[in-house]
Structure 1
Amino acid sequence: MYETQNKKVINRLAKSDLKSKKMGNLFTMITIVIAASLLLVMGLFPGTVKLDLQRQLEYAQDVMYMGVTKDQIKNLQKDDRFSYMTYDKMGERMEMDDYIIFHVYFDGASTKIKTTELTEGKLPEKKNEVLVSKGYMKKIGKKAEVGTKIEVPLLSGKTEVCVVSGFTKDVKNTNIYQIRHSRAYAEKGSTLKDVNYDVLAKVAGAKSMTQDQFLNVIRDAAKKAAIPRSQVNENNHFVGTLPAGKFDPEMVTIAIVGIIILAAGIMVIYSIFYISVTGKTRQYGQLRTLGMTRKQIRKLVRREGFILALRSLPIGLALGGIFSYAARPGGFSLTNTVVMALIVIAIILITVLLSILKPAKMASMISPIEAANYSAYQGEGGKAQTKKLQRKITPFTLAKMNSARNRKKTFVTMLSLGIGGILFIGAVTFAVSMDKEKFVRQGPFEAGEFVIEISGNASETAKHGEMEIKLQKPFSDQLYDQVNDIPGVKKIHSFPGAEIEYDYQDQSKAADTVSLFTRDEVPEIKKCLESGALDYDDMLKNDKILIRGNDQAEEIFGWRFEIGDEVTLHYWDGKEKTKTYQVAGTIDNYKDGFLNGWFLLPDEEVERQVPGVDLTDTWIVSTDPESTNKVEASLDRLMEQNPNLIMTALRTHRVEYEASANQMILAILVMVLFIVLFSMINLINTLITNFMSQRTELAMLQSIGMTRGQIKTLVIGEGLVLAVGNVIISLLFGSLLGYGVCRLFGYMGVDYMVYQFPLAYSLIYIGVVVLVPCLIALFMIRKFKGQSLVERLREI
């Protein structure tokens, strides 16, 4: 009975105490609300994204086996590891003026894998019936009505008259339009009859597999069906929804960010309770005098913390749930939300317990005698803070002395502020150091604003592909002069290559490209050498070859090009030539985006094999920035006169790439700003609590002659001590963090991160950190005026 009454007394005291310090409680609750909502959003986000993707992929294939024969299809059908299969054909792609048409066949009647979303009409059944989008009808200037006859162009130069049987859903922001044919056309139509089927399949129990298990199943099935690994195309979106294994990089990243948020929350909550305990030293001493034990004092402080946590958690969880749903409605799950909410509750309660552990212990150690003698200016433990007999007394020196007396409180506040400041300066350093122009120009656009290459239409219609087009010399000297003479063109960068077929391992006459290098490029290539050796003359004399991107070869084929192995290349320059080379070495990261294919040979060797052929693959045209638009118009006119060539402009890539960069930077800044918010809450609470605990001392100073202006200087000075300390920590370590991140990106081969000190953002941050103490001081001093000097002196 006695113990029960004691519990009730502690509960009442805790609730009564919380009512008496609403301002401090508000900051604590805001901190807990933000921490809970952030943790819930972060905890739900990966699962929400994956669940959303899984729901979207419910009727999509897990894997596609491309271009398989009828015998291979039969072998796959016998494999009981597949739960469902359907088929399609991918035919000709044809480049029009500013769009591409694509002849395809999909089994629109497929149920578990939906390949056709019919919005109007019916599926094509007759050989001349097609499905198109209304966007395509608009593009060709036809009315979007079922039964409309359209002329569909073919790569051969002919056209076919087709009847629109229905319409498929329009795809936003695309210039590729599918012409979907019937099964009858897929078997006998001119553009599809000679094309092998693709098998779209679902794997039984795939959702319960890891990524490696899934890949092993689909690749083993291909092996047993005699399908080359290069024809296995897993659905990467589906694979992304499967766990990566024991250590999921995405989960590790989220865990690290979560730990940072928790650390910031702990610092703020600890600081608030620490300041609260030091401000109530006399009160705890009085409770000890009345008979409360140290254990009960600790219990009282802990109870206050848990009451605040329990009041804040529902608000934080509700906000987190709302944000999660709003961010990804398609992936929202009530069950997952409830489970994660319970985890967040446990984490927050443990966080609060850890945060108040030290303040609770400190409160329990206060004796009645210490409490009676306590003064806010006395400092920690009443120890002497200096041996100086004389000191200069000004409002600002008093502010510095007060901060120095309670070093622990000052240190905790500075550390909390510093964490936010360091992360903020580091994040904005990342933002300003990202050269968006370089980010956009990754790949061939690094050298210029326009890429001119052989048209896909031309190479697909030619029996021997691009080499047949190159014999016609589309990159002629005359065209070079025409492009070079356009006002505003600075330089034309030319990149050669030879389209070949090769034999190696299970690849027989597989299409690929040989890139060329000169004797002058050897030193740069040697820097990228992974294995083997590079000697230009030895390669010419002993028929040796270099391999690019061996890791990608292993990913696609399941094997690597090994040093000393032989590779047979089939050239064509009007007639076929065959030559076998020995692998001399492997390279990586050499001119990525500019070179094509697995193979790299000396230019003299390739020119020896295909003499007289202009091997130019690509021109990259660089221009004066102010002339780019005019140059594009002139190049468009030249491309119209050269149907074997096609041009791509940098501006078509810029919007997408810049949007991607901005999203990444925004995500980082939003997360960091939440951490800074924690820090600001702590700063504001510290300043207000300091002021409230020093009211009687300030009244005493005012009674002996200190003016209101000097009181203001004193209060502002204490805030500026914290602000200046925070600024020094933030700028020093934040700059080091930002510089380190930029160096790390550089080490990884990323060249668009160029370190820039974020001067403008740093000045804004300094301004905010310095302005907050001044505003709080002005606010509290105005409140201070409402109480007379006599009333404040009575509290001494």
Structure 2
Amino acid sequence: MTLPFENDTSVIIRKYAKKSIKESKSKTILSVLTIMLSVALLSGFILSVVGMATETKRGLQTTNHAIYYNINHKQIEELRRDSRIADSRIFIQAGNTQVDNYLVIPVYIEQNDSNIAVEEIVEGQYPIGLYDVAVDKAYLSRLGLPAELGTKITVPFYDGSSETFTVVGLTDNGSTERTYSLYCSEEYAHTGKQFETSVTVLTVQLANTAQMSSENFKEIVQKIGTDYGVTPQHSDYNDGFAASLEPNQENIMIISIFSIAVLLVSYLVIYSIFYIYVQNQVREFGQLRTMGATAKQIKTILRTQGKLLCILGTILGLIIGGTAAFLFKPDGWSCQNTALVSVLTFCIVYAMVWLAVSKPAKIAGSVSPIEAAKNTGYQSTQLYSKKLHRKITPFSMAVMGCSRNRRKWIMTVLSLGVAGVMFMGGTTLISSLDMERFSRQGLLEYGEFEINLSRNAVRNDPHGTTGVQLNNPLNDDLIRNIAQIEGVKEVTEYKTLEAKFEYNKASRKDKLVPFTSEQQKILKQYLSAGTIDYQAMIENKEILVLRNEYAEYVFDWTFQVGDTVRFRWFDGQSYQETEYTIAGEISDDIFKDPIGGKLFGKTGFFLLPDQLLQKMVVPNFNFTSHLLVGINNFSLEPEVREKMNGLVETIPTVTMETLHNLYQDSEAMYQRTSLVIWGLSGFIMLFAVINLINTLIATTLSRKHEFSTLRSIGMEKKQLQWTIQWEGILLAFWNIGITLAVGTPVGYSIVRYLNSVGDDTWVWKFPFIYMGAYIIISIFLPLIISAIIIRILQQKSIVEQLRETT
């Protein structure tokens, strides 16, 4: 905006800014490269995180929000008429049938126009006739039959009967599980013998969920069920969908920290580039002031350059960042998210560039014609030494060069140091991960093999874990067979009873774990509140609570000693309910104890006397839900694993986790994590390299006249070369010093923080190899850049260089 008596010089300023950008090629290229990297990092990282969340949300759009089970036809009709429910689909499931070493699960899925996703029929159609079925191609392959429509299959059921069906539909989910669904017709679901004891489930999607909070969503799910006589035990909400209704605070924190780090380094580099540019162009700014340019106009010239460079760098950066994010998560790509992130990134980066350019612009605007005429290209409060004689060497001249350009060197060293510290933090993490500790999570901290009840079997049983335990495959015969394998040291049993608890308006499935009178001793060592008396707890129906820290994280409250907790569970014949009083609280430190961690590694929130647990179920109930197998010598692990796999493969209702498999998975994850850390560190280092190149080039070229004068009075080419290279080595020295002095405690602090939050898979180790490579690169990179600069200087003769002015 100009006043009536002012000349509008905006066009001239813009043209001058563009001309300066074209002429100052090194400044332009380095500035655009810095901004481009900054924008690419920010937009790519943010879009990748947002893409993962978007992909999850899109997946949740076709999943159920809640389920109501064990309901009748009247309740289904009433629920469907409720305006709070937008969509629904009926599932009816019969009991599991074990055939050889796999399971068959008869199921009927309502074929209505619902948004709730079901298994896709890739060939044929969904069954209509009484004995029509749809099955997966893998199931027919297991039976040794052709994966063709019209194939006849005979299915033996758990009650001893068998029926023959005609395949009218095929699915192809590529599953390698040993559990197969037998999709039956509606007619068979209502009249077939296998569905006489089936469980009817109504899966629903609620209306207007976009306006709900997570807590409000959970309350509505329970309220709808209560309104139509569905007990809380027979209604459940989708945890993943409930979590999606709240902002992911962890993602927000990660994005914020990452963005601040990138913007800080970018700010230092842009500031340094423009500061050096201003110092080297002081004479030019003085000439502009002599011709009548105002301080405001000179500031505007610098800011216009920053704006133009920002626009160009942002466009290139958004293309690179957006492409990388799309390749990383194509299913999470969204034009709307991309547009929003692009605008946000541009605004943030523009503000960063404006701040970075402001100080150099202010310096340029304050230059007077007289100061410009006196300018020598250096900034020093003491140009002359009191010493009458001094030894002139390439090293001493390099030190003088650094001291006369202190601010330039400080900014360069600072940006190099910040990048080095971030590199040090990342490589410390890479070096400090203990792969064995990382692999030995859960019970595998104390053994090499963990055998569990199959999640598929548990999920498909009407009574969950308890239903599978009624015919428990983790029996004495299996334990005996495992113990007889050569190399097996011990087999440890873990007993649990699945139950649903109600406390402080929360309802959730958990497991009750028994303890014996002999185990009181170790429990008392970690008793943080209340009392433990084995016999009194049996008589008074009392329990102990653990993991209160986790309860506070999940529920925002903790279990209190003296309160009562209501439980509901299946006892093997029917569902039972009762209340238990909390007698004491056990500290989570018990899991750090080798004995306590092994004994109670599978506990949830509750412990109770084993005699009290026995009274809760039918006689001779087998509580075992996990087996832990330890071996004598790890060198025997391959042979033991092969024999264990042979045993487990014959039992479809169990699965096995091995330390060997987890170690392989951990290595793959470690490689991915290392790649991410190296990628981020590499990008950050590029910022520092850009600043290093800018400093060495700008400082050296601004002193061409000085170097030519020195050459004219006898300085050799080799001496000039060493002078410039010593300046680079001095930069490397300060960079290495800052990296070691600050980066080492930063890396140590990161590892200690991870340990403090319970992640003991990190053991601090100094990254000697990575640091050695970093030191070598830090020294040789300035030497290489200096060599290139010297080659540029040598393209002109001494006489030609003397004729040029700085």
8 Å CA contact retained: 1:95, 1:456: no
Alpha-carbon shift at residue 645 of structure 1 (Å): 7.1
Deviations 1:342-398 (A, max 9, x none): 33333332222111100011112222332223223x434x44587666554321222
8 Å CA contact retained: 1:571, 1:578: no
Match of 1:17 among 10, 16, 20: 20
| Letter aligned with residue 375 of structure 2 | Y
Q: Tell me what 2:543 maps to.
A: 545
Change (3 A) 1:602 1:714: farther
Match of 2:134 among 131, 136, 140: 131
Match of 1:687 among 672, 687, 696: 696
Superposition map of 1:607-618 within 5 A: 618=626
| Letter aligned with residue 716 of structure 2 | T
Match of 1:60 among 29, 40, 63: 63
Greater Cα shift, 274-283 or 664-673: 664-673
8 Å CA contact retained: 2:101, 2:651: no
| Letter aligned with residue 379 of structure 2 | G
Are 1:720 and 2:715 matched, yes or no? Answer: no
Change (3 A) 1:668 1:192: farther
How many Å separate the matches in 1 of 2:615 and 2:220? 45
Match of 1:595 among 576, 598, 602: 602
Deviations 1:285-304 (A, max 9, x none): 23223332222221222222
Q: Number of residues paired by the alignment?
A: 787
| Letter aligned with residue 407 of structure 2 | K
2:758 partner SS: coil
- So what's the TM-score if we normalise by structure 2? 0.86
Q: Tell me what 1:794 maps to.
A: 803
Greater Cα shift, 351-360 or 639-648: 639-648
Alpha-carbon shift at residue 465 of structure 1 (Å): 5.3
How many Å separate the matches in 1 of 2:653 and 2:62? 40
How many Å separate the matches in 2 of 1:318 and 1:500? 52
Deviations 1:35-62 (A, max 9, x none): 2233333444444444444444443322
Q: Tell me what 1:436 maps to.
A: 435
How many Å separate the matches in 1 of 2:682 and 2:48? 19
How many Å separate the matches in 1 of 2:573 and 2:69? 30
Greater Cα shift, 461-470 or 300-309: 461-470
Are 1:31 and 2:31 matched, yes or no? Answer: no
Greater Cα shift, 604-613 or 118-127: 604-613
| Letter aligned with residue 733 of structure 1 | V
| Letter aligned with residue 444 of structure 2 | F
Deviations 1:485-533 (A, max 9, x none): 54433x214134264879978999x995433256456446653x56533
Match of 2:530 among 525, 529, 532: 532
Change (3 A) 1:541 1:707: farther
Superposition map of 1:571-590 within 5 A: 582-587=581-586, 589=588, 590=591
| Letter aligned with residue 747 of structure 2 | G
Alpha-carbon shift at residue 548 of structure 1 (Å): 3.9
8 Å CA contact retained: 2:134, 2:182: yes
Change (3 A) 1:685 1:606: same
| Letter aligned with residue 329 of structure 2 | R
Q: Tell me what 1:168 maps to.
A: 171
Are 1:622 and 2:623 matched, yes or no? Answer: no
Q: Tell me what 2:254 maps to.
A: 253
Change (3 A) 1:184 1:33: same
How many Å separate the matches in 2 of 1:794 and 1:56? 71
Greater Cα shift, 222-231 or 608-617: 608-617
8 Å CA contact retained: 2:544, 2:608: yes
Alpha-carbon shift at residue 577 of structure 1 (Å): 12
1:415 partner SS: helix
1:716 partner SS: helix
2:169 partner SS: strand
2:165 partner SS: strand
2:729 partner SS: helix
Q: Tell me what 2:190 maps to.
A: 187
1:197 partner SS: strand
Q: Tell me what 1:407 maps to.
A: 406
How many Å separate the matches in 1 of 2:268 and 2:777? 21
Alpha-carbon shift at residue 776 of structure 1 (Å): 0.3
Alpha-carbon shift at residue 595 of structure 1 (Å): 2.0
How many Å separate the matches in 2 of 1:504 and 1:347? 48
List runs of 5+ in structure 1 lacking aligned partners. none
8 Å CA contact retained: 1:67, 1:196: yes
Q: Tell me what 1:338 maps to.
A: 339
Deviations 1:657-677 (A, max 9, x none): 544454444434433332222
Alpha-carbon shift at residue 450 of structure 1 (Å): 1.5
8 Å CA contact retained: 1:703, 1:789: yes
1:59 partner SS: coil
How many Å separate the matches in 2 of 1:238 and 1:568? 26
Q: Tell me what 1:350 maps to.
A: 351
Change (3 A) 1:787 1:641: closer
Deviations 1:733-763 (A, max 9, x none): 2222222222122111112122222222222
Change (3 A) 1:129 1:241: same
Match of 1:754 among 739, 757, 763: 763
Alpha-carbon shift at residue 92 of structure 1 (Å): 3.7
Change (3 A) 1:317 1:474: closer
Q: Tell me what 1:703 maps to.
A: 712
Deviations 1:287-322 (A, max 9, x none): 223332222221222222222223333222333333
Alpha-carbon shift at residue 777 of structure 1 (Å): 0.8
Alpha-carbon shift at residue 579 of structure 1 (Å): 9.9
8 Å CA contact retained: 2:515, 2:608: yes
Deviations 1:586-618 (A, max 9, x none): 346444983245532345776899999986654
Q: Tell me what 1:735 maps to.
A: 744
Are 1:151 and 2:154 matched, yes or no? Answer: yes
How many Å separate the matches in 2 of 1:169 and 1:640? 23
How many Å separate the matches in 2 of 1:64 and 1:176? 22
1:420 partner SS: helix
Deviations 1:628-680 (A, max 9, x none): 12112333455589899765434454554544454444434433332222122
Are 1:292 and 2:301 matched, yes or no? Answer: no
How many Å separate the matches in 1 of 2:351 and 2:525? 56
How many Å separate the matches in 2 of 1:334 and 1:539? 61
Change (3 A) 1:228 1:570: closer
8 Å CA contact retained: 1:467, 1:498: no
Are 1:213 and 2:220 matched, yes or no? Answer: no
| Letter aligned with residue 375 of structure 1 | T
Q: Tell me what 2:275 maps to.
A: 274
8 Å CA contact retained: 1:73, 1:199: yes
Change (3 A) 1:243 1:451: closer
Superposition map of 1:299-338 within 5 A: 299-338=300-339
| Letter aligned with residue 12 of structure 2 | V
Change (3 A) 1:731 1:334: same
How many Å separate the matches in 2 of 1:174 and 1:468? 22
| Letter aligned with residue 693 of structure 1 | S
List runs of 5+ in structure 2 lacking aligned partners. 592-596
Deviations 1:263-301 (A, max 9, x none): 221111111101111112222223223332222221222
1:545 partner SS: strand
How many Å separate the matches in 1 of 2:413 and 2:100? 63
| Letter aligned with residue 435 of structure 1 | D
Change (3 A) 1:639 1:22: closer
The percentage of counterpart residues that share the same residue type is: 30
| Letter aligned with residue 352 of structure 1 | V
Alpha-carbon shift at residue 573 of structure 1 (Å): 11
Question: Aligned Cα RMSD in Å?
Answer: 4.1
Change (3 A) 1:55 1:618: closer
Greater Cα shift, 231-240 or 700-709: 231-240
Change (3 A) 1:467 1:366: closer
Match of 1:774 among 769, 772, 783: 783
Greater Cα shift, 78-87 or 389-398: 389-398
Greater Cα shift, 684-693 or 432-441: 432-441
